[in-house]
Amino acid sequence: MTKAIKKQALGRGLSALLKDPENDIKSVDDKNADKVVGNIIELELDAIEINPFQPRSNFNEEALQELSTSIRELGVIQPITVRKLDFNKYQLISGERRLRASKLAGLQVIPAYIRIANDNESLIMALVENIQRHDLDPIEIALSYQRLIDEIQLTQEQMSDRVGKKRSTIANYLRLLKLDPIIQTGIRDGFISMGHGRAMINIENQDVQTDLYQKIVSQNLSVRETETLVKNYQESLKTKTVLKTKTVSFTVAEEQQKAITTYFGTKIDIKVAGNGKGKITIPFHSQEDFNRIIQLIKN
């Protein structure tokens, strides 16, 4: 108990230090920075702004209320992480659920780890820390990886080193973003799993994707049943391709058409249908021309 009281008192003492304009810490080289950076400090909720780099966009209201009740009774057990922006101004890096729940609980202050980082470092820290969380949905994780690619220009190999995940795992998440937005929403809302989504990725036609999605949801198909459904669809495409190949007609060589044109002395039109049948059209320009062509045919 004594140890806990000392820890809280230290947090309040550092909070006072941060509110002193003469001790405005902006870098790790500033005076007293070692006392602040990396330490747990009680910060006023009003001094913390939401992180624009936060990958999470869905917050379950019922779960927030439950966490708020727990915080009201037990306090914030795990501190949030923030970065210092300016004098007595901070930006959240991780812990938005705890911050929101603390506001619901009516708290005025919250324990926080202080870090000093630029925008890129803050984005990477926020995304990496949140990717490690078990309660992010697969699409949120995929979007986090995509942001690291788009905004930080990280390769999949570099991301693998940063987040401690295999490149194949990262690639599997990123491929989910190829799915129709309706299906992505279905994954986020829990109607289907990431496994269902992965089974449909190789289908390029998004209209077909959504048709299969409706069938999966309405029939409550398992991932294995979905894989079978997709396999049957792909097999049907192969069958159609084979049938189409069998009915593909021959083509008339350019030399053959020239030979006929030369023989009749007029430009011949040759059309061949898919079943191999066709017709030859021989134009004439006068009765004399017609009689000439008839004579050539008789010969």
235 is catalytic: no
Q: Where are the beta strands (DSSP E) in 37-177?
A: 40-44, 48-49, 80-86, 89-94, 109-115
Query: Token pair for residue 45?
Result: 């909720």
Q: Can you tell me the distance from the alpha carbon of 272 to that of 39, in angstroms, rounded to the nearest whole number? A: 82
User: How do 80-86 and 89-94 pair as beta strands?
Assistant: antiparallel
223-231 long-range Cβ contacts below 8 angstroms, 24+ apart? 223/193, 223/195, 223/196, 223/199, 226/195, 226/196, 226/199, 226/200, 227/199, 230/199, 230/200, 230/202, 230/203
DSSP state at residue 37: B
User: How do 89-94 and 269-272 pair as beta strands?
Assistant: unpaired
Give residues with Cβ within 8 angstroms of 47, minimum separation 6.
88, 89, 90
Query: Token pair for residue 111?
Result: 């324990």
Q: Counting every residue, how long is the chain?
A: 299
CB 69 within 8 A of CB 104: no
DSSP state at residue 191: S
- Exposed / middle / buried, residue 168 (Cβ in 10 Å: 0-12, 13-18, 19+): exposed
- Among residues 42, 44, 61, 96, the one annotated as catalytic is 96
Q: Can you tell me the distance from the alpha carbon of 233 to that of 241, in angstroms, rounded to the nearest whole number? A: 13
Longest dimension (CA), the chain: 121
**Among all residues, which ones are annotated catalytic?**
96
